[in-house]
Amino acid sequence: MIRLLPHWRKILRHAWSVRLIVLALVLTVLEVALPWMGGVLPPGLLGILAGLASAGAFVARLLVQKELVHEDAA
């Protein structure tokens, strides 16, 4: 059964993986809107940045963050 961690609110506020996923989402939305922005940025730049943010989120998900260490995780 799928269930939330007991401290899921703290994870949403502090986890770098969540922050990077949100950044990737924003960059992806901007890339879709780029044609309406008049080609201000080179094509593919936002896609590359979104990919890097997603890769960073993957790595951040595997790293221990001091403020998110749960007492039961030891």
Residue 2 lies in a domain: no
Between residues 66 and 51, which one has the greater pLDDT? 51
Q: How far apart are CA 29 and CA 37, in angstroms?
A: 12
> Is residue 23, in this structure, part of any structural domain at all?
yes
Q: Has residue 26 been placed in a domain?
A: yes
Burial class (CB in 10 A: 0-12, 13-18, 19+), 7: middle
Q: Residue 25: what pLDDT?
A: 96
Residue 4 lies in a domain: no
What does the longest C-alpha to C-alpha distance in the chain come to? Answer: 52
| Range of the structural domain that residue 48 is part of | 13-62
* 19 closest CA partner among 62, 45, 54: 54
Q: What is the pLDDT of residue 74?
A: 41
- What's the pLDDT band for 56 if we cut at 50, 70, 90? very high
Q: How many domains does the chain have?
A: 1
What is residue 57's predicted lDDT score, i.e. its pLDDT? 94
Question: What does the pLDDT look like over 8-45, one tens digit per residue?
Answer: 898 888 899 999 999 999 999 988 888 787 777 888 89
